[in-house]
Amino acid sequence: MKTVPTLFFATGACFALLGMIWGIQMSATGDHSLSPAHGHLNLVGFVTMSIMGIYYALTPAAATSKWAMPHYLLTVVSVVILVPGIVMALSENGEVLAKAGSALAVLSMLTFLAIILKLGFGEKA
């Protein structure tokens, strides 16, 4: 099984690739109406997940803790729900998904904070 830092980095890179293809499509069509969703895919899916991956890579105690994998899954699910939710909200098709995705994204960050406070940062945390 892949390690937690690898999962965070690899998933983040997949989200970045999707976000970049989406950005190119927006540029090509001149339709930027969904750019907030593209921005969130890149910033939560790629930047945030990569920063979390760096933390886990530098903090083995956190990466091997029982909280790491649930945190990874929660973060992935939050992106997968939040981004289509923003698309739906922007196209006036309801805000339920965006609200659910936002709540999950907050939960993911709260989990990250709890892990940092409990296990510290770095090799000798």
> Is 13 a binder of ligand HEM (CB under 6 A)?
no
Whether residue 85 contacts residue 98, with contact meaning beta carbons closer than 8 Å, is answered with yes
Of 114, 115, 80, 117, residue with least CA distance to 100: 80
Q: For ligand HEM, which is the closer residue by CB, 17 or 73?
A: 17
Burial annotation 103-121 (CB, 10 A radius, 16+ → b, else e): ebbeebbebbeebeeebee
Shortest distance, CB of residue 122 to ligand HEM, whole angstroms?
Answer: 26
Please pick, from the candidates 12, 19, 53, 85, the single residue that binds ligand HEM as defined by CB under 6 A.
19
Identify residues 22-81 at the interface with ligand HEM (CB under 6 A). 23-24, 26-27, 32, 35-36, 38-39, 42-43, 46-47
Binding segment toward ligand HEM, per CB under 6 A, in 1-9, 12-20, 57-65, 84-92? 12-20
> Is 8 a binder of ligand HEM (CB under 6 A)?
no
Please count the other Cβ atoms lying within 10 Å of the Cβ belonging to residue 12.
Answer: 24
Task: Give the N- to C-terminal CA distance of the chain in Å, as an integer.
Answer: 24
Site for ligand HEM, rule CB under 6 A: 16, 19-20, 23-24, 26-27, 32, 35-36, 38-39, 42-43, 46-47
